[in-house]
Structure 1
Amino acid sequence: MAFSLQLHQIFLSHTRFCSQPKSITNPLISLKLPSIHPLAVAQNAAISNIDSAGVAAIDGSAEEVLLPPQLRRELMPKHVAVIMDGNRRWAKMRGLPVALGYEAGIRAVRNIIELCGNWGIRVLTLFAFSSDNWLRPKVEVDILMSLFERALNDELENFSRAGIQISIIGDSINYSGQHDVVQACQTIAQKVKDGIIETKDINSFLIEQELQTNCIDFPCPDLLIRTSGELRLSNFLLWQLAYAELFFSHSHWPDFGEAELMEALSSFQQRQRRYGRQSS
């Protein structure tokens, strides 16, 4: 499951879904968040105790949140994607049930949403369940699905009140970057067969229009963060990450907070993105 949050809306707006899922437990969800105070939720709040009073007011009088001195707002990535890895390892290291690791991961999600909105990141995409994760034990999959559904149902009203637009992307219960490209090719092939387009019309722009991220304002991430020390993409946004900067954190996802996000963003802002061109 992946969540993509679009954060640049300042005024309140209704939650928007790119595609209507059969279940709320969709693998990839995109959220558009306001750039000022998206959620004022305590980092350690219990997952079932999100109070509507914890959502900060979003209006024209809100003050811009100051960035940490290490970061520059004009160099902030527009779209950050995160592979949230290490929830199980975090729990096992503490002798806790796996379910508590995932609940701690949900608390980390709330904290990162707030930080990204305050710091001017306009789209945040969170990858939580891959099509490959079906190979995990059924009891763990059931826990994950139940947790995702409960967390989303708890947060939908808060997201709407805070001006966060949430986009559900992909299949109703999992996401695959390879399948994303395949379904785009199938759609284009059908349009050629129906005479809507010709083969000479097929290009990168057309393919991107058929990918499942086409409902996001900035569909291609500028920065990918993966936690828990893993150094792979794991079938996540394969086309869209073609020119993304990559940052790998050794922190398990429940421990990924302000300091870790600041480190990732600081690393991003020190890089020169050339897109194949020579350095200046």
Structure 2
Amino acid sequence: MASAPTEPPAKDAPLHVAIVMDGNGRWAKRRGLPRKLGHPKGVEAIRRVVEAAPDLGVRWLTLYAFSTENWGRPAGEVAEVMRLLKHYVNSDLEKLTREGVKVRILGRREGLPPDVAEIVERAETRTAHNDKFFLQVAFNYGGRADIVDAARALVAEALAGKIDVNAITDAAFEARLSTGGLPSPDLVVRTSGEQRLSNFLLWESAYSEFVFPDVLWPDFTPDHLQSAIDEFHRRERRYGAVADDVLAAG
């Protein structure tokens, strides 16, 4: 389990919001369209949310775009997702760079088509020195696979004598996850009304709050994000402790 923060963040502290962008295929099917035609509309929602997020108090945004399990979807749909990733980077990278957005792609690079791997590398390299806003896109990502990869890295370091087994801590493990270096998400949002993580940020979301709006991702707007953040701020985060007022009441 991820280490618990020592105290809740201040109400005005910048947030890390992670989103499972669910519902593209269902959005298309409800309109009598092939599933793959929901994904371009999903990209439009990405643009809306990325643009609005900084003004809503979000500094880190992590989007679940394509999981390790999604390779099992129809070949035409997978090809469309790959095409859209390339199109999004090609069309938006310079704008993201100008606006100080640092892009990081989470997930395994092995198995990606060469042209997709190249554009992932280009997006990260081009924005490497930005620090105004952080955009992480989980692509060919699985939470279990990421945990396994981090464990393998630690084992390899221990066998090479670079780290003592007794020195392995939560922090050491977290540093070797693909999300290493950024804070864990304060809020995880999954659209479409489904209420599960689907192998997303399993370690990192140990102390996150969850909101499940009943709206398909292509219809998701900054107003929906604001509502989720408002709900987050209404909650009391105790990280396993007991609130002072509960203690006072006995």
In the superposition, the TM-score normalised over structure 1's length comes to 0.71
1:177 deviation in Å? 0.5
Aligned to 1:183: 149
Following superposition of structure 1 onto structure 2, how do residues 146-185 of structure 1 map, counting pairs within 5 Å? 146-172=83-109, 173=112, 174-185=140-151
- Deviation per CA, 1:135-193: give whole Å up to 9, x if none: 11111111111111111121111100111111122212400100111111111111111
Following superposition of structure 1 onto structure 2, how do residues 1-280 of structure 1 map, counting pairs within 5 Å? 74-75=11-12, 78-172=15-109, 173=112, 174-216=140-182, 218=183, 220-280=184-244
Give ranges in structure 2 of 5+ residues lacking alignment. Answer: 1-9, 113-139, 245-250
Which is further off, 226-235 or 167-176? 167-176
1:196 deviation in Å? 1.3
Amino acid at match of 2:194: E
Preserved CA contact (<8 Å) 2:53 2:222 = no
- After the TM superposition, list the runs of 4 or more consecutive aligned residues in structure 1 that deviate by more than 4 angstroms: none
Measured in 2, the distance between the counterparts of 1:269 and 1:76 equals 11
Distance 1:156 1:215, change over 3 A: farther
Preserved CA contact (<8 Å) 1:167 1:215 = no
- Deviation per CA, 1:223-253: give whole Å up to 9, x if none: 0000001111011111001100000011000
Preserved CA contact (<8 Å) 1:223 1:268 = yes
1:98 deviation in Å? 2.5
Quote the sequence identity (%). 43
Distance 1:112 1:76, change over 3 A: farther
Preserved CA contact (<8 Å) 1:104 1:254 = yes
Measured in 1, the distance between the counterparts of 2:91 and 2:108 equals 22
Give ranges in structure 1 of 5+ residues lacking alignment. Answer: 1-72
SS of 2:66 mapped into structure 1: coil
Q: CA RMSD in A?
A: 1.4
Which is further off, 195-204 or 245-254? 195-204
Measured in 2, the distance between the counterparts of 1:77 and 1:278 equals 24
Q: Give the number of aligned pairs.
A: 206
SS of 2:224 mapped into structure 1: helix
1:256 deviation in Å? 0.8
In the superposition, the TM-score normalised over structure 2's length comes to 0.79
Measured in 2, the distance between the counterparts of 1:237 and 1:229 equals 19
Higher relative helix content = 2
